[in-house]
Amino acid sequence: MTVSATGLEYVCLARHGQTEWNQQGRRQGHLDSPLTPSGVLQAERNADLLASLPVDAVFSSPLGRARATAGIIAARLGLPVEVVEELREVHHGRIAGLTDAEIARDFPQVAADRARDKYRYRFPEGESYADADRRAGEALRRIEATGARRPLVVSHEMVGRMLLRNLAGLDVRTALACGHPHDVVYRVRIGEARYERLPAEDSTTTGELP
């Protein structure tokens, strides 16, 4: 599903700040861990960046790390935070809380199975990117229905890729290759095959989408 909403002018996408489990290399999914001091600083920097843009609403995943990040940004913008359940991260099932080394030890088949079809692969007792793709589309429909024109959406890396896919009409391969650092905001202009990475790393981070 590609968003073609006439009410939305653009959508800003932010990822939560770094957490303790991010620092430890642990998969979080629907589990949670607190923001690190660096994560708080990342949220504050994103807040400063977004203060220079016309943002008229802030929406957040229900998970604590996203809500904490959204709260920091929203306070800077003088806006409330509205929670959208569909913005939660991909459910990692039985591998949640584990490092990659622990996953390789306890679930040795995961890497090979996932490599065969990363988009449709479902974590043991968890979700797939395809599941998150459907949720992302529903989240954006809910956000559009609020009447917001220039919203900020605070979510996570995996579901964030699917939000970008829905907003910009990316193919699956391109969407899965998109990284989303904690201190970067993507702005997608609706109806254009174009997005901006803020702050831009270099001149190639703003350009026509494939």
Q: Which domains does the chain have, with CATH numbers?
A: 10-92+130-208 (3.40.50.1240)
How confident is the model at residue 163, as a pLDDT?
98
Return d(Cα 49, Cα 60) in angstroms, integer.
18
State the CB neighbour count (10 A cutoff) for residue 87. Answer: 28
Model pTM?
0.92
How confident is the model at residue 204, as a pLDDT?
35
Q: What would the two tokens of residue 12 be?
A: 């800003």
How confident is the model at residue 155, as a pLDDT?
99
Known active-site residue 16: yes
Catalytic residue among 86, 89, 127, 144: 89
Burial of 108 (0-12, 13-18, 19+ CB in 10 A): exposed
Going residue by residue through the chain (210 aa), what tens digit of pLDDT does each one get? 455 556 899 999 999 999 999 999 999 999 999 999 999 999 999 999 999 999 999 999 999 999 999 999 999 999 999 999 999 999 999 999 999 999 999 999 999 999 999 999 999 999 999 999 999 999 999 999 999 999 999 999 999 999 999 999 999 999 999 999 999 999 999 988 678 999 876 433 333 333
Known active-site residue 89: yes
Asked if residue 26 lies in contact with residue 93, where contact means CB atoms within 8 angstroms, the answer is no
**DSSP secondary structure string for all residues of the chain:** -----SS-SEEEEEEPPPBHHHHHTB--TT---PBPHHHHHHHHHHHHHHTTS---EEEE-SSHHHHHHHHHHHHHHT--EEE-GGGSPPP-GGGTT-BHHHHHHH-TTHHHHHHH-TTT---TTS--HHHHHHHHHHHHHHHHHTT-SSEEEEE-HHHHHHHHHHHHT--HHHHHH----TT-EEEEETTSSEEEEES-SSGGGSEE--
How confident is the model at residue 199, as a pLDDT?
86
